[in-house]
Amino acid sequence: MDQPLGGGATAVARAHSNIALVKYWGKRDAALNTPAVGSISVTLAALYTDTRVTFRPDLSGDEFWLDGSRTDATRVSRVLDLVRRRAATDRYAVVSSTNNFPTGAGLASSASGFAALAVAAAGASGLTLADRELSILARHGSGSAARSIFGGFAEMHAGVAADGSDSYAEQLLEPADWPLSVAVAITERGEKSINSTIGMVESAATSPYYQAWQDSAADDLAEMRAAIAARDFARLGELSEYNCLKLHALMLSTRPALIYWNAATVAAMHAVRGLRADGVPAYFTIDAGPQVKVLCLPADSAAVRGALALVPGVHEVRMSALGPGAHRLE
Ligand code: DP6
């Protein structure tokens, strides 16, 4: 089988990374990559991945280039296999991705990367997919990527269907509906030690807190939805910190422990609490890495950036507005 492809064999897409305010950790079905819990995130304008996908008749396997280096294509092929099946082609692809931020350091490169891959691969194969289908496709690469299909605020549904068909993200608000700022304090530029995929499997297998984490997810999601609907920043921020620290308590109680923080991570958390004590509403969240993301109102961006820049061990502070959903670049 080598059928002609409808919409031209190349497409380029950009997708922005996202930061979860209510976090995903744990899988319902590893093969389908469905999450055990739902999640809610904001998409970031300043951090993104550009991905070009070209299906070619002369390849004997998929090729994946990340920031100019040839990289293992296993996960990329998982997404491309689904696209090939739908588009009824057996052509392999060359995938070339560039991040405008450090890869693999807890800045959600897999979220932006697999969302960009889903949109570019669908485009290159001539498929026209609805956002929900793109979200499901992106999920097969990385659970958090399902949310980066959408701009602004997005919610990922864990779903209950055995085939994963109800496990996708949806948009809650456009970026302009509630403009917030996010400061990203970079405390380490290198690759993180344990990736999320492995870490969450270890937490599910070993932590005595894993059941409680799953059981309390629905309450956090409901409260976050209400905070977003009411544009209640203090409630959104307090709940984001609570959910983040609950996740890190789960990580710390995993055997062997998942310690993603360094000294600067902890110092930045205290700096954010110090800002609040001085009357600046700012709230932190941290993923499976040492970087600290701080939510604030656009009017307080300069104060938050200034305070984080003074924290010993913070190399750089990147400011971001909320960003758009994944889109084609041509
Ligand atoms: C802590 O989406 O990277 O960032 O589905 O295995 O690729 P896989 O995991 P991934 O996990 C993200 C974990 C998190 C929280 C979040 O983004 O919700």
* Per-residue pLDDT reduced to its tens digit, 177-194: 999 999 999 999 877 568
pLDDT, tens only, 198-211: 999 999 999 999 99
Angle at 112 between CA 248 and CA 7, to 5 degrees: 155
Q: Whose CA is nearest to atom 12 of ligand 1?
A: 144
Q: Which atom of ligand 1 is nearest to the CA of 75?
A: 7
25-34: pLDDT as tens digits: 999 999 999 9
Q: Which two tokens stand for residue 31?
A: 């093969």
Q: If you average pLDDT over residues 163-172, what whole number do you get?
A: 98
pLDDT at 306: 98
Q: How confident is the model at residue 106 (pLDDT cuts 50, 70, 90)?
A: low
Pocket of ligand 1 (CB under 6 A): 20, 23-25, 33, 39, 110, 142-144, 196-197, 287-288
Check residue 194 and give its pLDDT.
Answer: 86
Task: Say which residue the tokens 């399902």 belong to.
Answer: 146
Q: Is the pLDDT of residue 2 over 60?
A: no
Number of helices (H) and strands (E), helices first, in the chain? Answer: 9, 14
Is cis: bond before 4, omega within 30 of 0? Answer: no
Q: State the closest ligand 1 atom to the C-alpha of 139, by its place in the atom list counted from 1.
A: 5
pLDDT score of 190: 79
- Give the separation between CA 115 and CA 183, rounded to whole angstroms: 22
pTM for this predicted structure: 0.96
Q: Which of 16, 24, 192, 252 to mutate to test the pocket of ligand 1 (most atoms within 8 A of CB)?
A: 24
Which residue has 């710390």 as its token pair? 252
Judge residue 283's burial from the number of C-beta atoms within 10 Å of its C-beta, 0-12 exposed, 13-18 middle, 19 or more buried: buried
Is the predicted pLDDT of residue 330 greater than 90, yes or no?
no
Please report the pLDDT score of residue 7 as a whole number: 45
More confident residue, 296 or 107: 296
41 contacts 17 by C-beta, under 8 angstroms: no
For residue 104, what pLDDT is reported? 55
| H/E stretch holding 17 | strand 10-22
Percent of the chain with pLDDT over 90: 92
Mean residue pLDDT of the chain comes to: 95
CA dihedral 238→240→241→243, nearest 10 degrees, is: 120
